[in-house]
C-alpha cells in the first residue's frame, strides 16, 4: 500500500483534489498471468505510450481552461475571477475549478492576495483562499506514512487545517447558497478527525445545497472508508444509497466501484467478476452515456470503468473507455500506484492487455 498526497482532486478530484493524499489500496498487478502485453496493438490504435501520458489530470481540460490557468500562474487574478464568474451556480464545476485555482495559490498566492486586496469581500476569492489553505496543509504534512512524518510536519498540517476552518466559514457566509466551502471542509474532517455527528452536520449543509454533488460524494465516501473514519460497511452503504438515489448522468454510480476498490485486498480478480460487480459496471456505463460529455469529472468514472471492464475480460468495452481517456492518468486506480512514471506504466499495461486481447479476437 502507498500513501499519496493529492493535490489534486481531487480534485481530484479529482482530481484534484485530495486523492493523492489518501491511503492507497492493493492493486491487482497480475490479473493477466501472461505478463506485460505487447504495446503494438495499442499503438496501432493511436493510443499513447507511457511517457506521453499526462499525470496531472484525469482527462483533457475544457476548452480555454488551460490558457486561463496559465494566465493565473502569470499573476492575472482577473482570469481566475472570470473563470468562476462564468461557471456561476454550476456547483460541480465550481468546486472543480476552485480546486485547480487553490492548487496554484498554494504554490504562489501573490495573485490571490491582489484579488483579495481589490475585492475584499468577493466570495469567489474567499472560497479559493479556503481551498488553497487546505491544499497547503497537505503539502506541509507531506506524502509519507505517519511513521515517516515528523512532529513538526504534523503540527504545521493541523495548524493550517484549523486556520482553514475560519476561511471556510467566511466563504460560506459570503455566499450562503454555495456548497463549495462545505465540500472543502470534508478534507478538514478527514485531517482533524471529525466525529460522525459532526460529519453528518456537514453533510446536511452540503446536500441542502447540492444533493448530487460529485466531489462532495467522493470526499464523503473517503471519510466513511475504513482507512479514515468509517468501515467497509459504512462506506459501501453510503455509496450504494447515493448511487441508487442519484439521477442518471450524475456520475454517482462510480461510488460503489470506489467503495469496492478502497476495501479490496484480494489478489484474485474473481471478486471483480461477480454479478454484483458486473451490474455496478453496467450501471456506470449507462451513467457515463447519459452524462454531460463535457463534465470535468466524467473521465474519473471512465478510468474506473475501463479498469473493471478489463478485470472482467470485457476487453472491447474496456478499450472503448480507454480511448476516451487516453493521454491522462491522474485518476483511480492509477493514482494510487506511486510515482508519476509508475502511474502511467500501470495504466498502459492494463490498457495494452485489453488492446492485445481485442486484436487477437479480431484475428480469430
- pLDDT tens digits, residue range 175-194? 999 999 999 999 999 999 99
State which H helix or E strand residue 124 sits in: helix 123-141
**Helix 340-363 vs helix 315-325: crossing angle, to nearest 10:** 140
CA distances 262 to 24, 229, 268, 281, Å, are 7, 13, 15, 16
pLDDT of residue 139: 80
Higher pLDDT, 43 or 74: 74
Predicted TM-score of the model (pTM): 0.89
CA distances 355 to 42, 88, 187, 217, 322, Å, are 5, 41, 38, 32, 9
The confidence band for 144, taking pLDDT boundaries of 50, 70 and 90, is low
pLDDT of 364 > 90? The answer is: no
pLDDT of residue 155: 64
pLDDT of 77 > 90? The answer is: yes
The confidence band for 26, taking pLDDT boundaries of 50, 70 and 90, is very low
Q: Is 64 left (phi over 0), alpha (psi -120 to 50) or beta?
A: left
pLDDT of 174 > 80? The answer is: yes
Average pLDDT over the chain, rounded to whole? 89
Backbone φ, ψ for residue 3 (5° rounding): -110, 125
pLDDT of residue 111: 98
pLDDT of 21 > 80? The answer is: no
Higher pLDDT, 24 or 246: 246
pLDDT of residue 338: 79
pLDDT of residue 20: 36
Neighbouring CB atoms inside 10 A of 183's CB total 33
The confidence band for 143, taking pLDDT boundaries of 50, 70 and 90, is low
pLDDT of residue 160: 84
Higher pLDDT, 336 or 91: 91
pLDDT tens track for 329-352: 999 999 988 789 999 999 999 999
DSSP state at residue 10: E
Least confident span in 23-37, 42-56, 284-298:
23-37
Question: What SS3 class is residue 290?
Answer: helix
pLDDT of 23 > 80? The answer is: no
Mean pLDDT in residue range 267-279: 95
The confidence band for 2, taking pLDDT boundaries of 50, 70 and 90, is very low
Q: What percent of the chain has pLDDT over 70?
A: 85
pLDDT of residue 1: 35
CA distances 6 to 13, 100, 114, 157, 358, Å, are 9, 12, 26, 14, 34
pLDDT of residue 36: 65
Give ∠ CA 338-297-205 in degrees, rounded to 5. Answer: 105
pLDDT tens track for 153-172: 656 667 889 999 999 999 99
Amino acid at each position: 500500500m502507498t500513501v499519496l498526497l493529492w493535490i489534486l482532486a481531487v480534485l481530484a478530484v479529482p482530481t484534484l483534489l485530495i486523492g493523492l493524499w489518501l491511503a492507497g489500496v492493493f492493486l491487482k498487478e497480475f490479473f493477466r498471468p501472461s505478463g506485460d502485453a505487447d504495446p503494438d496493438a495499442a499503438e496501432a490504435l493511436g493510443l499513447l505510450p507511457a511517457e506521453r501520458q499526462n499525470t496531472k489530470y484525469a482527462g483533457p481540460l475544457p476548452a480555454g481552461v488551460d490558457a486561463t490557468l496559465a494566465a493565473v500562474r502569470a499573476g492575472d487574478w482577473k482570469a481566475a475571477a472570470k473563470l468562476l464568474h462564468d461557471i456561476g451556480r454550476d456547483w460541480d464545476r465550481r468546486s472543480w475549478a476552485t480546486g485547480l485555482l487553490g492548487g496554484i495559490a498554494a504554490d504562489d498566492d501573490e495573485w490571490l492576495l491582489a484579488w483579495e486586496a481589490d475585492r475584499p469581500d468577493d466570495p469567489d476569492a474567499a472560497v479559493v483562499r479556503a481551498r488553497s489553505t487546505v491544499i497547503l496543509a497537505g503539502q506541509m504534512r507531506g506524502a509519507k506514512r505517519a511513521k515517516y512524518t515528523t512532529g513538526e510536519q504534523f503540527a504545521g498540517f493541523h495548524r493550517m487545517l484549523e486556520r482553514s476552518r475560519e476561511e471556510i466559514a467566511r466563504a460560506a457566509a459570503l455566499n450562503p447558497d454555495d456548497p463549495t466551502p462545505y465540500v472543502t471542509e470534508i478534507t478538514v474532517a478527514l485531517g482533524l478527525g471529525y466525529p460522525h455527528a459532526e460529519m453528518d452536520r456537514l453533510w446536511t449543509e452540503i446536500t441542502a445545497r447540492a444533493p448530487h454533488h460529485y466531489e462532495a460524494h467522493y470526499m464523503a465516501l473517503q471519510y466513511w472508508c475504513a482507512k479514515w473514519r468509517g468501515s467497509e460497511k459504512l462506506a459501501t452503504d453510503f455509496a450504494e444509497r447515493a448511487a441508487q438515489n442519484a439521477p442518471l448522468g450524475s456520475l454517482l454510480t462510480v461510488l460503489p466501484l470506489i467503495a469496492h476498490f478502497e476495501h479490496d485486498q484480494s489478489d484474485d480478480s474473481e471478486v471483480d467478476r461477480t454479478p454484483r460487480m458486473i451490474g455496478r459496471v453496467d450501471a456506470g456505463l449507462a451513467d457515463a452515456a447519459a452524462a454531460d460529455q463535457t463534465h470535468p469529472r466524467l473521465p474519473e468514472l471512465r478510468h474506473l470503468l475501463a479498469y473493471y471492464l478489463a478485470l472482467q475480460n470485457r476487453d472491447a468495452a474496456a478499450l472503448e473507455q480507454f480511448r476516451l481517456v487516453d493521454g491522462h492518468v491522474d485518476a483511480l486506480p492509477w493514482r494510487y500506484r506511486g510515482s508519476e512514471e509508475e502511474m502511467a506504466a500501470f495504466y498502459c499495461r492494463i490498457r495494452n492487455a485489453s488492446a492485445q486481447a481485442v486484436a487477437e479476437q479480431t484475428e480469430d
